[in-house]
Amino acid sequence: IVHPYGASPRWHGLWMMPNVYAGQACKGGRGLLVVSPRGTLSPVALKINARQKAIFWRALQAPAIRRAACFHATAESEYADIRRAGFRQPICVLPNGVDVPAYEKSPEDLRRTVLFLGRIHPIKGLDTLLRAWSQLEPAFPAWKLQIAGPDSRGHLETLQALSSRLGLQRVAFSGPVFGDHKLRAYREASLFVLPSHSENFGMAVAEALAAGTPAVVLKGAPWEGLNARGAGWWIDAGVDPLAACLTEALAMSSAALAGMGRAGREWMVRDFSWQSIAHQWAAVYRWLGEGSQAPRCVRTA
């Protein structure tokens, strides 16, 4: 079974030659191909560099992944994207697994920080976040906004210019963080925010929740469970909905936000831990390789 995830752990998805090579390797029944699009078939993602993608699709990408024995979707929205692209193979619907660190957070230790952590890319909606923050900053002097992550396509300079035009005083662009530094950023934040226009999953949300930090996520990412689990907010896209939600969140006490963070961490332990996800993946691979009964996470229609 060949399951290509992209050129490196940072860049999952289609439009890269490793996916083409995997499809070619499975040609003629020499292997079983499992494809994880990682959000690259969403309508928003397809509009980015659309002409280049159309050429690559016809010449290389489509012929390779049409050989897939199974697709992997991390959420219902991605399942719909795969079907919309015309693929009728079985689809395994499983979220990403997440490492759940030891809980080292308490209300009295929380700093009043709103954190974004991820690529500095237009699809992440950070201009929306800055404009919403401009409505809040004067009313919440104890809070700051931290934007952490690597620059992509020079978008960092665009955001820094926007922050300057808006006259923002408590916004920090702190660059990429990894390993223990990334975990510390999650733990020290009082609130995590993901304003993306489109996400197939949103790994940073799972990581923040696992670290005990509640999250605000726009509906471009499939995190509707936040509301039901009491672990944060899943809200409509736009500056005004985000500003209204952040106004509510920033007015809450540290203890109340920490309680939401603990609820999110318990959710990650129960449904997103690697022990649970790996067990289900093993069942999927066993079914593909041996023809056993399809696991409940696999949909054939």
User: CA 32, CA 104: separation in Å to the nearest integer?
Assistant: 43
292 or 84, higher pLDDT:
84
Which residues is 216 bridged to in the sheet? 193, 233
Q: What pLDDT is stored for residue 253 in this prediction? A: 93
Q: What pLDDT is stored for residue 9 in this prediction? A: 36
Residue 291 has pLDDT above 90, yes or no: no
How large is the average pLDDT for residues 69-95? 94
Q: What pLDDT is stored for residue 7 in this prediction? A: 35
User: CA 187, CA 158: separation in Å to the nearest integer?
Assistant: 28
Which residues is 72 bridged to in the sheet? 92
Q: Report the chain's mean pLDDT, rounded to a whole number.
A: 91
Q: For 187-215, how does the pLDDT look when each residue is reduced to its tens digit (9 = 90+)? A: 999 999 999 998 889 999 999 999 999 99
157 or 1, higher pLDDT:
157
According to DSSP, residue 123 is labeled G
Q: How many residues does the chain have?
A: 301
CB 268 within 8 A of CB 98: yes
Q: What pLDDT is stored for residue 222 in this prediction? A: 92
Q: For 29-66, how does the pLDDT look when each residue is reduced to its tens digit (9 = 90+)? A: 778 999 999 889 989 889 989 999 999 999 999 998 99
Q: What pLDDT is stored for residue 83 in this prediction? A: 96
Please report which residue ranges of 71-154 form alpha helices under DSSP H.
76-84, 126-136
Q: What pLDDT is stored for residue 294 in this prediction? A: 92
Q: What pLDDT is stored for residue 6 in this prediction? A: 41
Using a 10 angstrom Cβ sphere, with 0-12 exposed, 13-18 middle and 19 or more buried, the burial of residue 101 is: middle
Q: For 88-135, how does the pLDDT look when each residue is reduced to its tens digit (9 = 90+)? A: 999 999 999 999 999 887 554 456 999 999 999 999 999 999 999 999
Q: Which of 8-22, 36-50, 72-86, 196-210 has the lowest mean pLDDT?
A: 8-22
Considering only CA atoms, which of 245, 215, 244, 218 is closest in space to residue 230? 215
With bands split at pLDDT 50, 70 and 90, how would you rate the model's confidence at 23? confident
- Give the 3-state secondary structure of residue 102: coil
